[in-house]
Amino acid sequence: MSEEINETQDGTMDAAEEKGEEVLEGEVVQEEELIEEELEEIEEDVEILKSKNQELRTALEEEKEQSGKYLKNWQYLQADFQNYKNAFKRPPDAGRNAAGERNAAVY
């Protein structure tokens, strides 16, 4: 009788061990599924961020072009203003030759 009990206990233990392994495998499968879902969400977030990054880079390039245009126009205006100021610093007849005509080299 003691042999039957050992076998039953061994059999029960074997079944419990198998059941425990199945439970552990089930938990592992669930964890793997959760990890895969999280990975997919992260990949989606990465794609969204890449897209946003490209949009921002494009907008930055456009703003750089516009600021370059503003700088160029400002420099032209600054030069024009300096020329305007210099014109008033000259004596009134500095731009005329002996015949009273305007000297093109001065302007």
One-letter amino acid identity for 49? L
End-to-end alpha carbon distance in the chain: 126
The pLDDT value recorded for residue 49 is: 98
Per-residue pLDDT reduced to its tens digit, 82-99: 999 888 887 666 556 655
The pLDDT value recorded for residue 8 is: 46
Per-residue pLDDT reduced to its tens digit, 43-69: 999 999 999 999 999 999 999 999 999
- Give CA separation, 48 vs 1, 54, 57, 60, in Å: 69, 10, 14, 18
CA distance 31 to 37: 10
CA distance 58 to 20: 57
The pLDDT value recorded for residue 20 is: 56
Task: Compute the mean pLDDT over every residue in the chain, rounded to the nearest whole number.
Answer: 78
The pLDDT value recorded for residue 1 is: 43
Percent residues over pLDDT 90 in the chain = 48
Instruction: With a cut of 80, say whether residue 107 has pLDDT above it.
Output: no
